[in-house]
Amino acid sequence: MKLYILSGASRGMGLAMASQLLAVDHLVLGISRRQNAELQQQADAAGCPLLQWPLDLADPLPAAQALQDWLAGQDPQRFSHACLINNAGVVTPPGPIDRVPLAELSSALRVGLEATVLLSSAFLAATRGWAADKRLLNISSGLGRRAMAGSAPYCAAKAGMDNFSRAVALDEEGRTGGARVVSLAPGIIDTDMQAQLRSGDPSGFPDQPRFAAFKAEGQLDSPAQAAAKVLRYLSRADFGSTVLGDVRDA
């Protein structure tokens, strides 16, 4: 059986990935603020194992501890593959950081970066002795690799995710049975996050017209299209050979 652990699995591309991963020989564990009833119905109808943990990753420590404890209780021989996909992310209202409430800034960084670090640590620690093919996929963004005005918290979280991934990959290289690590830019996707950027005030978010044009000109992938591209990348035989990846490289 293959194990897929996915954060932010209740909507957007995360939901699409969870849906596409459902299979009788896959155990999908979704971690999100709330469960998705339609996803559960899909899994039940097809007889596919699915767990949904309703946990808020703005407080990531309990989620990471729960994951580590759960993995520690599994039979290491049960899974031929084990994968953690850190997908959850939050965009603050577009504009300079001094216009964003401090609590929102804190939440965005906890979900986008701290949760990635803690969940990754829990996953790697608990599966250290497993013989399974282990993969760690962090869903990054082009904004982690180039700055954009009005989006400093998101840029910071994704840039941190990228360099975190590079450092963890170096750690795993030196370990027997180490996990392969990729931080992947998934392209531009028609999600609530994109809608929030399109609706930003150009006075504080000068790239707003560009994001509006993405939608108007049909340049956005649907969540299902983006999810399929990401999962194809995840299944590549050379996954991990390049730590900072982009779906358009495939």
Domains and CATH numbers, the chain: 2-187+223-249 (3.40.50.720)
Pairing verdict, β 2-7 and 133-139: unpaired
Question: What is the Cα–Cα distance from 238 to 34, expressed in whole angstroms?
Answer: 34
Q: Is 173 exposed, middle or buried (0-12, 13-18, 19+ CB in 10 A)?
A: exposed
Q: Are 179 and 239 in contact (CB under 8 A)?
A: no
Which pTM value belongs to this model? Answer: 0.92
pLDDT band with cut points at 50, 70 and 90 for residue 41: very high
Q: Say yes or no to pLDDT of 220 above 80.
A: no
Q: Say yes or no to pLDDT of 66 above 90.
A: yes
**Mean per-residue pLDDT, 44-58:** 97
Question: What is the Cα–Cα distance from 199 to 149, expressed in whole angstroms?
Answer: 15
Q: Say yes or no to pLDDT of 169 above 80.
A: yes
Assess whether 233 carries a catalytic annotation.
no
Any bridge partners for residue 138, and if so which? Answer: 86, 183
Q: Say yes or no to pLDDT of 70 above 60.
A: yes
Tell me the per-residue pLDDT of 154-164, one tens digit each, with 9 for 90 and over: 999 999 999 99
CB neighbours of 35 closer than 8 A, spacing ≥ 6?
A: 10, 52, 54
Query: Active-site residue among 123, 154, 164, 211?
Result: 154
